[in-house]
Amino acid sequence: MTSPNNLLQEQYRDEPWKMMILCIMLNQTHYKQVYRVKDIFFDKWPSAEDAMWANIDEMVEVLRPLGFYNRRTRTIRKFSYEWTMNGWRDIGELCGVGKYGRDSWMIFQEDTLPPDVTDKKLKEYIKWKNGVNATKQRKTESQLTE
């Protein structure tokens, strides 16, 4: 079931590397800008292996509309390299993953609701998810008492 906000993290929850790349893109950028470049980006670099060896100038041009394109390019390439390395235990260990990325990972990959989410859209998602879960619980309880 998808929330009314239909977050990119929801759309890409079955592709964790891509979901985290979107989180990096969403840092200090509006969703609409990321939505415009995501398909181009993933067509060119569909995997972590592709992104870590991407041509820097080409990636910069794709990311240019998001701002901070040189920094994002460095971050995405390094994140992708670290992603492919075995040994990381927590997504927060990887380059470019801050609070927003870690919260997104917990919510959409670990199915855990962090208690201290600060992002407005993630808070709305949690509120929606809690409402859906409460409705399911009431239905289950109702069926058990029938």
Task: Please pick, among 14, 90, 116, 119, the residue that the annotation labels catalytic.
Answer: 119
Whether 34 and 48 have beta carbons less than 8 Å apart is answered as: no
Token code pair at residue 99: 């609070």
Provide long-range contacts, Cβ within 8 A and 24+ apart, for 121-125: 121/5, 121/7, 121/31, 122/7, 124/3, 124/5, 125/3, 125/5, 125/7, 125/10
Q: Please say if 116 is a catalytic residue.
A: no
* Positions marked catalytic: 119
